[in-house]
Amino acid sequence: MNSVPVTSIRVVLDHPDFFVIDKPHGISVQNELDAQGILPVMCAQQAVDKLWLVHRLDKVTSGLLILAKNAQAASTLGKLFEARAIEKYYLALGSPKPKKKQGTVSGAMKKIRDGKWAFSQGGTGIATSQFFSKSVSAGIRLFLLKPLTGKTHQLRVMLKSLGSPILGDALYKGIEQDRTYLHAYCLRFEYQGQLIQLTCPPSSGELFTNEDCQVAMREYSEPWLISWPKTKPTAASR
């Protein structure tokens, strides 16, 4: 079974209609052959029969994940994701220095081999992401990422395409580390007239939690206030 204890899943927000949790890295959202996914773990922890998954994070990614408590909430939240009405922001560490320090990256995604994706002229689904970055220490850069679409591995592919793959991301040739340094950092949306605005700094990984990175993150404490480029994504976010 997975190595994450049931009691270790931190609830960031306990709303009447949904939980927002801090998903640990290394646990899948779905069950695997030899390990439970996040849903049965959270059901056991919260002593409920069922929770609904309304969006996904990769197994290697930590951070904010919404789990609906009922079917109606799952439908409502799903429609918000489809309408791109839920802002998502991620933090990542990459190396070496990227081809450009900030901007928008858009390209057609195509599945290639060994579970990997790549930008390709023969791809169909367009993935669009925006980013800012800053130096943390020699050879290491902190990225603030804003995906405008929800394609599989799009942030991981984007940083690989910029020449700065995510540290620890073996699938995309990132330098070996104690974890994959990608974290779902912030969610911001309106739910039934209430503004939900959550940030969740990463709590695991030697490089995320060291002083240099903590200082660098302070500039990104309110990512929705940054002047992001104006652009229209070409595909629905989910």
Is residue 188 situated within a structural domain?
A: yes
Percent of the chain whose predicted confidence (pLDDT) is above 70? 94
Position 235 scores a pLDDT of: 39
Distances (CA, A) of 192 to 113, 189, 196, 200: 42, 10, 10, 22
Region 37-66 average pLDDT: 95
Tell how strand 182-191 and strand 62-68 pair up. Answer: parallel
- Dihedral sign for Cα atoms in the order 15, 79, 149, 219: negative
Is pLDDT above 60 for 29?
A: yes
- pLDDT at residue 113 in the model: 85
Judge contact between 148 and 130, C-beta under 8 A.
yes
Q: Reduced to 3 DSSP states, what percent helix, strand and coil does the chain have, rounded to the nearest 5?
A: 20, 35, 45
Answer whether residue 214 is part of any domain: yes
Residue 235 vs residue 190, higher pLDDT? 190
Reading the block at residue 74, the tokens are 């799952």
Tell me, yes or no, whether 95 lies in a domain. Answer: yes
Alpha carbon 154 to its chain's center: 10
- In the set 34, 49, 58, 169, the catalytic residue is 58
Residue 22 bridge partners (DSSP)? 10, 64
Helix H or strand E encompassing 199: strand 194-199
DSSP code at position 136: E
At 217, list the tokens: 């993150």
Distances (CA, A) of 64 to 21, 61, 89, 126: 6, 10, 10, 24
Q: Mean pLDDT, to the nearest integer, of 56-63? A: 96
Mean pLDDT, all residues of the chain: 92
Any domain includes 166: yes
Instruction: Kindly report the CATH number assigned to the domain that includes residue 92.
Output: 3.30.2350.10
**Is-contact 144 226, C-beta < 8 A?**
yes
Phi, psi at 171, each rounded to 5° = -65, -30
**Residue span of the structural domain in which 158 resides:** 7-225
- Beta-carbon contacts of residue 162 (< 8 Å; ≥ 6 apart): 94, 98, 99, 100, 105
Domain presence at residue 233: no
Q: Is 58 a catalytic residue?
A: yes
- The predicted pLDDT at position 1 comes to 40
Q: Who contacts 119 (Cβ-Cβ below 8 Å, separation ≥6)?
A: 107, 108, 109, 110, 127, 157, 161
Per-residue confidence band for 114, with pLDDT thresholds at 50, 70 and 90: confident
Under 8 Å between Cβ of 29 and 42: no
User: From the centroid of its chain, how far is CA 73?
Assistant: 21
Structural domain contains residue 61? yes
pLDDT for 161 equals 95
Does the pLDDT value for residue 238 go beyond 50?
no
Q: Is the pLDDT of residue 86 over 50?
A: yes
235: in domain: no
pLDDT-derived band of residue 232, with 50, 70 and 90 as boundaries?
low
The answer, yes or no, to whether residue 6 has pLDDT greater than 50, is no
pLDDT for the residue 2: 45
Q: Does some domain include residue 237?
A: no
* Separation CA 58–CA 61 (nearest Å): 5
Structurally, the chain folds into a number of domains equal to: 1
Is residue 120 very low, low, confident or very high in pLDDT (cuts 50, 70, 90)?
confident
> Taking 50 as the threshold, does the pLDDT of residue 236 lie above it?
no
pLDDT tens digit sequence for 125-184: 899 999 999 999 999 999 999 999 999 999 999 999 999 999 999 999 999 999 999 999
